[in-house]
Amino acid sequence: MKISPNHPRFRSLETRERLVQGFQSGIVASQGLIAQGRGEAFDYMLGEVTPKSSRLATKAASALLLGAKSPVISINGNTAALVARDVVKLAHSVPAELEVNLFHRSLARERRIASLLKRNGADRVLGVDSKTKVRIRGVASPRRSVDAQGIGNADVVLIPLEDGDRAEALRKAGKAVIAIDLNPMSRTSLAATVTIVDNIIRAIPELLRITEKMKPLSRSRLGAIASSFDNEKNVARAMKDMIHYMQGWA
Amino acid sequence: MKISPNHPRFRSLETRERLVQGFQSGIVASQGLIAQGRGEAFDYMLGEVTPKSSRLATKAASALLLGAKSPVISINGNTAALVARDVVKLAHSVPAELEVNLFHRSLARERRIASLLKRNGADRVLGVDSKTKVRIRGVASPRRSVDAQGIGNADVVLIPLEDGDRAEALRKAGKAVIAIDLNPMSRTSLAATVTIVDNIIRAIPELLRITEKMKPLSRSRLGAIASSFDNEKNVARAMKDMIHYMQGWA
């Protein structure tokens, strides 16, 4: 379907359309469509713009990624459908590994996502060859199975659009977790080391931009930025942004 | 998928499952799954119960429907998938016409929805035969095309799960609009004559119950109830309910 660019909510509708195309081509799960809708509602309450709190989190996230020994970016269907190109650029910039990790797992979908990432410039995509998988404790979904060379070995994991279950398990496994989640009340948002409360279509390009900018910083400077970040306080700030937005309407 | 009735969010998960089934049988558009997700997020902020503000709106909506000369209930895929039986009962109770009107239009889907409504007791379903269509001004989507005998001629239109574009256009065309929308900030909610901020699975049965109860009232009494309703104030009340819920987290 063609959406008129004159429609007042063109960008949101166009994003939705891109996700539907991803669904039709077997990249996105049907549950991923519903999850997108939930995100849309929370984005609405941010006025569909990146809040200040998210900029602070993005800075801390870039510091964590650049300071990491083995950083990994976890990719699911929605992330691939919406920001494949920029997430590959981010992986090159850090540099970090890319790993496909799905809640609603199928080998066909894993392969399609990996091939989409490769078409967008990725050299290597982990998580598809099941021979190298290890389990993380405390996850009930198929997401428990991760690549031994990827998330299994990572010290910092970026998990855009995650389930709370695995976010908590990764923390318990001693890894620093960066989440991108529009719902500041979610278990993912509360469990992560750094939570970027923002729409992934804005958050990943911004994370790429800040990472490029912070690259010249020393390891100790990066460490200082990451450790001065208070996630609990920052998530509460994002909540307040939403409440403030809603109060403007009430 | 079988969901345990003991699950704390059973009703919400079961509703989601029903919508996915509607999608698989060609009643619901893939975009309808996304819309459902949006609704879920807002319903979460109502604590998944009908707020007081919604009861007031429902009373005003029943008064409008019962006092109308040519009331029409507009039906899309999600409405049909979730509340076909009760919406047909409501149409009989008022009585009102039923008209299929889709944002993501296809003749096959229109026909499937009409046949679902008929299986649930509808005598006549408008909006499927394209020969009788007229256009309403100011709508950019396929929803601009409406049935001349239905929405085209209506004085009161009930639009569950609507887009803001058409809600505004219907108001401009001089019609009274009743919206059911979980997002109190949406253009639909603000444009409507009466907005019921509630989940359609609770709102339609409640609207049916109240309509049955108010049937004996005189035309002038109905008019007084409808005209004393202040939609702007009432939508703000629903907003405050949500803000109150979020403040519990901040």
**A15 contacts chain B (CB < 8 A):** no
At residue A103, the pLDDT reads 78
Is the per-residue pLDDT at B29 higher than 80?
Answer: yes
Q: Which of B3, B33, B186 to mutate to test the interface with A (most CBs of A within 10 A)?
A: B33
pLDDT tens digits along A14-38: 888 899 899 999 999 888 898 889 8
Is the per-residue pLDDT at B1 higher than 70?
Answer: no
pTM, whole model, 2 decimals? 0.82
How would residue B9 be classed by pLDDT, with cut points 50, 70 and 90? low
At residue B79, the pLDDT reads 96
Kindly state the greatest CA–CA separation across chain A: 55
As given in the structure block, the two tokens for residue B63 are 């008064």
At residue A3, the pLDDT reads 66
Percentage of chain B with pLDDT > 70?
96
**Set of chain B residues whose Cβ sits within 8 Å of the Cβ of A36:** 34, 37
- Mean per-residue pLDDT of chain A: 91
Torsion sign over Cα B120, B165, B18, B246: negative
CB contact under 8 A, A33 and B37: yes
Q: Give the nearest chain B residue to A232 (CA atoms).
A: B250
At residue B16, the pLDDT reads 83
CB contact under 8 A, B36 and A35: no
- What's the average model confidence in pLDDT over A53-72? 97
How would residue B15 be classed by pLDDT, with cut points 50, 70 and 90? confident
The span from the CA of B32 to the CA of B188, in Å, is: 17
pLDDT tens digits along A34-53: 888 989 899 988 889 999 99
Q: State the complex-level ipTM.
A: 0.72
Q: Which domains does chain A have, with CATH numbers?
A: 52-247 (3.40.50.12640)
The span from the CA of B60 to the CA of B62, in Å, is: 6
**B160 contacts chain A (CB < 8 A):** no
- Mean per-residue pLDDT of chain B: 91
CB contact under 8 A, B41 and A37: yes
R_g of chain A computed on alpha carbons: 17
As given in the structure block, the two tokens for residue A72 are 């990994």
**B228 contacts chain A (CB < 8 A):** no
Closest CA to A155 of A140, A176, A134: A176
Q: For residue B250, give the nearest of A19, A33, A240 by CB distance.
A: A240
Q: Give the nearest chain A residue to B44 (CA atoms).
A: A38
The span from the CA of A96 to the CA of B3, in Å, is: 39
- What's the average model confidence in pLDDT over B158-175? 89
Distance from the A38 Cα atom to the nearest Cα atom in chain B, whole angstroms:
4
Q: What is the crossing angle of helices A30-44 and A10-24, to 10°?
A: 170
As given in the structure block, the two tokens for residue B70 are 């040519």
- What's the average model confidence in pLDDT over B136-153? 83
As given in the structure block, the two tokens for residue A182 are 């529009």
**Set of chain B residues whose Cβ sits within 8 Å of the Cβ of A16:** 31, 34
Length of chain B in residues, anyone? 250
Query: What's the per-residue H, E or C state across chain A?
Result: CCCCCCCCCHHHHHHHHHHHHHHHCCCCCHHHHHHHHHHHHHHHCCCCCCCHHHHHHHHHHHHHHHHCCCEEEEECHHHHHHHHHHHHHHHHHCCCEEEECCCCCCHHHHHHHHHHHHHCCCCCEECCCHHHEEECCCCCCHHHEEECCCHHHCCEEEEECCCHHHHHHHHHCCCEEEEECCCCCCHHHHHCCEEECCCHHHHHHHHHHHHHHHCCCCHHHHHHHHHCCCHHHHHHHHHHHHHHHHHCCC
Is the per-residue pLDDT at A88 higher than 90?
Answer: yes
Distance from the A240 Cα atom to the nearest Cα atom in chain B, whole angstroms:
6
Query: Amino acid identity of B174?
Result: G
**B1 contacts chain A (CB < 8 A):** no
B133 or A203: which leads in pLDDT: A203
Q: For residue B38, give the nearest of A4, A30, A37 by CB distance.
A: A37
CB contact under 8 A, A37 and B42: no
**B168 contacts chain A (CB < 8 A):** no
**Set of chain A residues whose Cβ sits within 8 Å of the Cβ of B104:** 1
Query: Amino acid identity of A97?
Result: E
pLDDT tens digits along B88-131: 999 999 999 999 998 878 889 999 999 999 999 999 999 997 67
At residue A186, the pLDDT reads 86
